[in-house]
Amino acid sequence: MNNDFRARNHPAYWAFLVHRISGLLLTLFLPLHFWALGQALHGEARLDGLLRWTEQPLAKFAETALVLLLAAHLAGGVRLLMLEFLAWRDWQRSLLALATGVTLAAGLAFLLNATW
């Protein structure tokens, strides 16, 4: 019998989940990202064609999701680096709130710029 959600239902654990899932999804996305940019080797027109394709709403949604994932992984990662390398303080809960805020701000900024 292992621990289930009842034992995991607290902020630091959610932070771990977000961090691990975002890291995994970003790693899976990278090959696609590198391939797409690599298309520039075949000329500007090829890259432009790809970018044109990303104008559709579904792609914009996916891009926003990716920006959120990246921002979340960054914010969560900085939080972890602070917890691990700075002498421990009890304000780590505030760190988590700050990280969440920064993530959402970045996602919102992207969404506004990309769609307005």
110 binds other proteins (CB under 8 A): yes
Radius of gyration of the chain (CA): 18
- According to CB under 8 A, which one of 23, 25, 98, 104 is a site residue for other proteins? 23
Which residues does 67 contact at the CB level (< 8 Å), separation at least 6? 106, 107, 110, 111
88 binds other proteins (CB under 8 A): yes
58 binds other proteins (CB under 8 A): no
Q: Is 87 helix (H, G, I), strand (E, B) or coil?
A: coil
Q: Are 96 and 12 in contact (CB under 8 A)?
A: yes
3 binds other proteins (CB under 8 A): yes
- According to CB under 8 A, which one of 33, 65, 91, 97 is a site residue for other proteins? 33
Q: Is 3 helix (H, G, I), strand (E, B) or coil?
A: coil
- Of 61, 46, 65, the residue nearest 106 (C-alpha): 65
Which residues of the shown chain bind other proteins in the complex (CB under 8 A)?
1-8, 10, 12-13, 15-16, 20, 23-24, 26-27, 30-31, 33-35, 37-41, 44-45, 47-48, 50-51, 54-55, 67, 70-71, 74, 77-78, 80-81, 83-85, 88, 106, 109-110, 113-114
